[in-house]
Structure 1
Amino acid sequence: MAGIVLLLLVALATASQLLDPWLRRTLEKQVAQKSQGRYQLRIGRLHTSLGSGTITLGDVRLRPAKAAALWQATPLPRLLADVQQIRIAGVGLWALLRGAEVPVGSVVVSGGRVRVLHWPRPRPDARPLHEQLPRRINGLRIGYVALQGVQLAYGALARPTASVRQVNFTAQDILLSRAGAADTQRLAYTAAFGGRVAGVIGTVAQHRFRIGNAQFSSQSQRLTLDSVRIRSLLGVQERGKTIRVEMLLPRLRLTGISSAELRRRQLRLDSVVLRRPWVAAALPTQPPPPIHEALAPYVPYLALAHVAVSGGTLHLTGIPPRPRIQDIHLRADNVLLTAAGARAPARIWYARAWALRTGRIQNNVSAPVYWLGIRSTELLTRTGLIRANDITLRPTMTPAALARLKGHQTPHITVRAPRVQVAGFDFAAFSQHNALLANSLELSGLRVLIAGDGRFPLNPNPSLVTQESLAKLPVRLNVRRVTLTKGYVATSYVGPKTGKSGNITFNRLRVSLRNVTNDPRLMTAATPLVAQASGWMQNSWYAQASFRIPLLDPRGSHSGQGSFGRGSITLLNSVTEPSRLVRFESGNVERATVQFRGNRQQISGTMRAEYSDLKMTLLSQQGGPDQKTLFTKLGSKLLNGVVIRDDNPRGLGGNKLKTGSMQSRRDLRVSVFSLWRQGLVSGLLNSIGAPKKVAQRISEAP
């Protein structure tokens, strides 16, 4: 009996020694035959263990044939590989012999390099992988597959299109059969899979990308990318047909990735989180297709429960303003990136709601004339809130340089606003119809400096600072209320003859606008824009005014009234002396009221000014220290003695108040504010004694 056992052991040992070389030669021949000579396989070591059903291969080399003709019209990828070890354990030999579904405990590939030189396009008539198994095998069920420390590369040998320094991959319960292909909970026959890659480098669409690490697990349904870098090979300083991007992304995390949904190419992700992304982008010269159309060939349905960005920076290059936005914090809820999501009335840019907070925003406006800076912003679509803090708009050149650049007089404006807040903004109307609809706009502490230079010709084009411009906006506008409190406006103007600058300030301004709209249903003659304003001129002279402006009136008709409190008319010297060479020596205003009507042709109305002790002096640039010459002295005496009404009303007992006539023609090249100033000047001059025609001519002078 012992001899028989010994004989069997010797037979098994002999068979094993003969089996390994035979199996190695058979595998090498099978690869050459099945690939029709396209591949050459060399196995350095092969060891089998029939008792445990284990096969171990070492120093495996796979090389493609060099003949180019062999690789034409073939579904096989062209690749070469060097693998340190392949270990297949737990093979069900009895099932293999019976032609049943063959169980395999594990397949582990350790170490090595794989270079894919060419990957053919998938053929529409290609058979599924499970139908390509040998006929005698009814299927394979592999419990565990792993790649450990494998390097991958794709592309030409000199510089691969993509490469991965290290791949570690695992897959559990792979059912390579008809049932596995039909199982909707599996992806590529696999029940669960995951892995980690490091050192990914590649080129896609003229962009070079690097990924430090990437991890994915189908069980936790999470994908994490660390240290992502993207660089356009064409640079981002100029625009092209497609978008050009440079990006640094420390971390990107996606959760809720279902294998079943990946199989159907319909994804419903729980979250997409980006941490501290830095993006510089040159937008394309032609508008790109909507996001859902660009994604449709790859993911026809993509829903994101939450999208979050923290600490981001965006720099738009390739366009002259080159805006930069820092410290971006963004959240979007219930995003649906499909055609239905783009059209849904309840969605705003595909999402149910957006929340955005940013740090500093920098941009050039009407480049290169103005620089815009905003310290922080906030946007909440659920409540319709828009808030901007510490806004600064400042020119990049002097008033004269700006006028010289434009070739005509141009307002030189500096704006500072601690806060601007819009409440009840309709983001859905804005995103879908470009409409600007809001309940209110509030500004507090606004400071505006306006400088002009009369030494240059007037702008030959019609002014845009008119009520007609609001009516002609290409978008629907409807803001129910605009409020300005604690405002400050300072204006300066260089006289065309004197070359000197006169200035005047308006302090503690309060302005209220109601019914700011170009909607014909809301803007009528009976329901016009109503404006009320009050404040202090030169911080000493109180004034208030109200206006009724039907924006859609084709004639530009509007009306207003106002009043001035007690004050000294000498406060006007800061503007009249340098620019008009006229000084008010004295004059105390008790009260003044104005009423006017304006249109596209003129302004007309009345001014009732009660004042006393009015004295004026004409000045000359060629005069002495007091700017007086013999001619101006004689002119001043004549002006005060003959023309000027020094008191209004004059004397005692029954002298009536002299009402001034406001009459001035409108020049459509100047703003509506200039028209109102013209009316005040003509009414004031006429009320103090200047003839109507003289007052009108002086008011219309530039």
Structure 2
Amino acid sequence: MLLLLVLLGLSALLLDPWLRRTLEQQVARKSQGRYQLRIGDLHTSLLTGTLRLQNIRLRPAADSGLWQQAKLPRLLADVREVRLTGIGLLALVRGAEVPIDTVLVAGTQLRVLQLPAPDSAARPLHEQLPKFLDGIRVGYLGLLNVQAAYGPGRVPVASVRQASFTAQDILLSKAGAADSQRVGYAAAFAGQLRRGVATMARHRLLVGNARFSSAQQQLTVDSLRIRSVDDIRQQGQTVRVRLLLPRLQVGGLSATDLRARRLLPDSVVLTRPWLALALPSQPPPALHTVLAPYFTRASLGQLRVRGGTLHLPATTPRPRIQDIRLQAEAVLLTAAGAQDPTRIWYAKAWELRTGRVQTAVSAPVYWLGIRSTELLTRTGKMQARGITIRPTMTPAALARYKGHQTPHITVQATQFDVAGFDYAAFARQSSLLAQTLQLQGLRVLIAGDGRFALNPKTSLVTQESLAKLPVRLNVRRMQLRNAYVATSYVGPTTGQTGNILFSRINVTLQNVTNDPRLMTAATPLVARASGWLQNSWYASANFRIPVLDPAGRHSGEGTFGPASITLLNTMTEPTRLVRFESGNVHRATVRFRGSRQQITGTMRAEYSDLKLTLLSKNGGPDQKTLLSKVSSKLLNGIVIRDENPRGLGPDRLKVGVMDSRRDVRVSVFSLWRQGLVSGLLHSIGAPQKMAQSISEQP
């Protein structure tokens, strides 16, 4: 026994130096002199089947000619320790499959200078084993505390401050390579990376911590940052991204599927991502087209975003969306998924809820803010709360910017609801189809300035604009509840501002569509509206508007309740220099027909004690001059009908004729106002031509 121990000791003393030299020589020979290996210390234990190597140093040859068209990577490596335990020496002697309990590699510093071109003729790793071995089976492999960098320059293209990798049951043999349940010969593996940095596609990537386990099929990334080296405030040929992602979790990520080029995770969760994105100047290819070269199939069971923020600084409106909560179900990222009629943007269903939304509208004229939104594709719901649209400049500055008169509009609404919205039609044909649309708590402030010229272009606020929309529109019912509209207008000659108020407005629109199958003369858009003028004068109206009529023909009728006509003075005095001294309207009804050429109709106004005063902007404190006083007396005594009806007989009620030519540069609402003015002036005694001329003044 003693002799055996002596022989084993002598063998170990001779084996270790021989094995170290052999390994160093083999590396030089196999690499054809491209590499030099130096092992600081090597120790074997035949009794326990252990091999330990320390202070390993691998260096490439300095001769650059050796690396031309080389099939090996060019790298530098320093390894503090390599330990193999439980080596099956008897199996090694017999040339059978060699078992190894554990392989530990600790303290590696790796710098890859150059990667070889892909070699389709390269043999698999198990075929590079010595011919006399059937294979090697490693119970556990651990690569611990690895530092790595890639790139020939002083600043690496990619680097990892610390990484670890473990694998279980590695079968390095033909059978292991053929086993479809294994990846890289291993039955299971896991890895962790800390402080990874890389530059690719003109973006800098920084990973704080990443972990993957094939057994748990889960990838977790903490603190992912992506920063474009180009300015994200400008568009380029490719997308530019700035991303801060505290956590990314991917569940159900099968390594076996990845090996077969299938990306099929059960879930992807992004927590509090902050994304600033500059879209490319040309539309990018579809997502499934981008993924097709890398995966034969790509799908997600569920996609979730928790508390995200999105900013598009290079897009002219520059929208910003906060507190994004997104969930998508059954996402199929293939051409079939894109064309599947049961899917919307690749998914079976989407749920999107957001906090604050901010963007420019008709930039840089208006700013839009929304407190919160909700979109549910499964039920066709769309909702927005706390809506604000406000101008970014004063009414006069806006008119100067546009070069003509333009409404200066401020809008607030408590809630906007859409039910039955067809998201599929919107995604595929950009069609706007819905069952109902409701707007609540609307407050609108409209300021105009008549001192500027009219817009030379045709007004877009007309029913003809609906007909010309480049997308299909079909909303079965639209409702406006308890709205408030305040208007102000600077008179073109006086330079003074007039005001008028509409409150408690309720509007219902039916058949709002530009679909020729639904919009006909027999089935037009039908509108019903009611509200209060100056909080004291009730009015209601009905309209029938065949949107697709090329001549813009439409009709309407309205009723005005009892009130004092002096309510109009807040607008007529400062802008038209006309004051109603008195006048009680008992009832008024109008019927009209409009078109692109004119508005015609009748006004039946019943009133009493009507008196007018003409004012002068050059007058004294009461805005009266001798001429205006004389003109007022003549007007009230000769022209104005102070009561209607008056006298006896069937013609005692003077019916006013509505007749005013249309200027297509003004909106359809201005056309209706023209008709009311011409009908009112004619009914109170003004000659029809005069009433028409006055109504057509801007």
State the TM bucket, normalised to the shorter chain. Answer: over 0.9
What aligned pairs does 1:234-253 form with structure 2 within 5 A after superposition? 234-253=230-249
What aligned pairs does 1:564-579 form with structure 2 within 5 A after superposition? 564-579=560-575
Deviates more, 1:115-124 or 1:503-512: 115-124
Q: Which residue of 2 aligns with 1:279?
A: 275
Determine which of 22, 26, 44 is the counterpart of 1:48.
44
Cα distance in 2 between the residues matched to 1:49 and 1:6: 17
Cα distance in 2 between the residues matched to 1:17 and 1:264: 48
Q: CA deviation at 1:10?
A: 2.1
Q: Which residue of 1 aligns with 2:587?
A: 591
Cα distance in 1 between the residues matched to 2:499 and 2:344: 47
Q: Which residue of 1 aligns with 2:22?
A: 26
What aligned pairs does 1:657-696 form with structure 2 within 5 A after superposition? 657-696=653-692
Cα distance in 2 between the residues matched to 1:459 and 1:405: 12
The code of the aligned residue for 1:447 comes to R
Q: In structure 1, the residue corresponding to 2:638 is in which secondary structure?
A: helix
Identity %: 68
The code of the aligned residue for 1:376 comes to S
1:337-375 CA-partner distances (Å, limit 9, x unpaired): 111111111111111111111111111111111111111
1:269-322 CA-partner distances (Å, limit 9, x unpaired): 111111111111111111111111111222231111111111111111122322
**In the alignment, is residue 258 of structure 1 matched against residue 259 of structure 2?**
no
**In the alignment, is residue 146 of structure 1 matched against residue 142 of structure 2?**
yes
Q: CA deviation at 1:129?
A: 1.8
Q: Which residue of 1 aligns with 2:198?
A: 202
The code of the aligned residue for 1:262 comes to L
The code of the aligned residue for 1:487 comes to A
**In the alignment, is residue 294 of structure 1 matched against residue 286 of structure 2?**
no
Cα distance in 2 between the residues matched to 1:561 and 1:431: 39
The code of the aligned residue for 1:689 comes to G
TM-score (norm 2): 0.99
Determine which of 388, 391, 405 is the counterpart of 2:387.
391
Cα distance in 1 between the residues matched to 2:336 and 2:650: 79
Determine which of 462, 466, 480 is the counterpart of 2:458.
462
Cα distance in 2 between the residues matched to 1:85 and 1:109: 6
Cα distance in 1 between the residues matched to 2:94 and 2:60: 34
Determine which of 111, 116, 120 is the counterpart of 2:112.
116
Q: Which residue of 1 aligns with 2:600?
A: 604
Cα distance in 2 between the residues matched to 1:220 and 1:282: 36
Cα distance in 2 between the residues matched to 1:23 and 1:411: 90
**In the alignment, is residue 227 of structure 1 matched against residue 223 of structure 2?**
yes
Q: CA deviation at 1:655?
A: 5.1
Cα distance in 1 between the residues matched to 2:64 and 2:618: 95
The code of the aligned residue for 1:200 comes to G
Q: In structure 2, the residue corresponding to 1:650 is in which secondary structure?
A: coil
Determine which of 299, 302, 305 is the counterpart of 1:306.
302
What aligned pairs does 1:465-544 form with structure 2 within 5 A after superposition? 465-544=461-540
CA-atom RMSD, angstroms?
1.1
Q: In structure 1, the residue corresponding to 2:265 is in which secondary structure?
A: strand
Q: CA deviation at 1:132?
A: 2.0
Q: CA deviation at 1:671?
A: 0.4
The code of the aligned residue for 1:355 comes to E
Cα distance in 1 between the residues matched to 2:93 and 2:68: 37
Cα distance in 2 between the residues matched to 1:74 and 1:342: 43
Q: Which residue of 2 aligns with 1:622?
A: 618
The code of the aligned residue for 1:102 comes to V
Cα distance in 1 between the residues matched to 2:441 and 2:125: 72
**Contact 1:662/1:682 (CA < 8 Å) preserved in 2?**
yes
**In the alignment, is residue 172 of structure 1 matched against residue 168 of structure 2?**
yes
Q: CA deviation at 1:653?
A: 6.0
Q: CA deviation at 1:93?
A: 2.2
**In the alignment, is residue 358 of structure 1 matched against residue 354 of structure 2?**
yes
Cα distance in 2 between the residues matched to 1:480 and 1:120: 64
Q: In structure 1, the residue corresponding to 2:69 is in which secondary structure?
A: coil
**In the alignment, is residue 90 of structure 1 matched against residue 63 of structure 2?**
no
Q: Which residue of 1 aligns with 2:60?
A: 64
The code of the aligned residue for 2:370 comes to I
Q: In structure 2, the residue corresponding to 1:534 is in which secondary structure?
A: strand
The code of the aligned residue for 1:329 comes to R
Q: In structure 1, the residue corresponding to 2:108 is in which secondary structure?
A: strand
Q: In structure 1, the residue corresponding to 2:643 is in which secondary structure?
A: coil
Q: CA deviation at 1:259?
A: 2.1
Q: CA deviation at 1:456?
A: 0.6
Q: CA deviation at 1:652?
A: 4.8
Q: CA deviation at 1:492?
A: 1.2
Q: Which residue of 1 aligns with 2:546?
A: 550
Gaps of 5+ in 2: none
Gaps of 5+ in 1: none
**Contact 1:283/1:317 (CA < 8 Å) preserved in 2?**
no
Q: Which residue of 2 aligns with 1:560?
A: 556
Cα distance in 1 between the residues matched to 2:212 and 2:369: 41
The code of the aligned residue for 2:422 comes to D
Q: In structure 1, the residue corresponding to 2:499 is in which secondary structure?
A: strand
Cα distance in 1 between the residues matched to 2:26 and 2:264: 44
The code of the aligned residue for 1:545 comes to A
The code of the aligned residue for 1:405 comes to Y
Q: CA deviation at 1:241?
A: 1.1
Q: In structure 2, the residue corresponding to 1:24 is in which secondary structure?
A: helix
Q: CA deviation at 1:651?
A: 2.9
Q: Which residue of 2 aligns with 1:638?
A: 634
**Contact 1:317/1:323 (CA < 8 Å) preserved in 2?**
yes
The code of the aligned residue for 1:470 comes to L
Q: CA deviation at 1:13?
A: 1.3
**Contact 1:308/1:330 (CA < 8 Å) preserved in 2?**
yes
Q: In structure 2, the residue corresponding to 1:526 is in which secondary structure?
A: coil
The code of the aligned residue for 1:538 comes to Q
**Contact 1:91/1:105 (CA < 8 Å) preserved in 2?**
yes
Cα distance in 1 between the residues matched to 2:323 and 2:263: 29
The code of the aligned residue for 1:674 comes to S
Q: Which residue of 2 aligns with 1:418?
A: 414
**Contact 1:369/1:396 (CA < 8 Å) preserved in 2?**
yes
Determine which of 97, 101, 105 is the counterpart of 2:97.
101
Q: CA deviation at 1:9?
A: 2.4
**Contact 1:360/1:375 (CA < 8 Å) preserved in 2?**
yes
1:386-417 CA-partner distances (Å, limit 9, x unpaired): 11111000001111100000100111000000
The code of the aligned residue for 1:553 comes to D
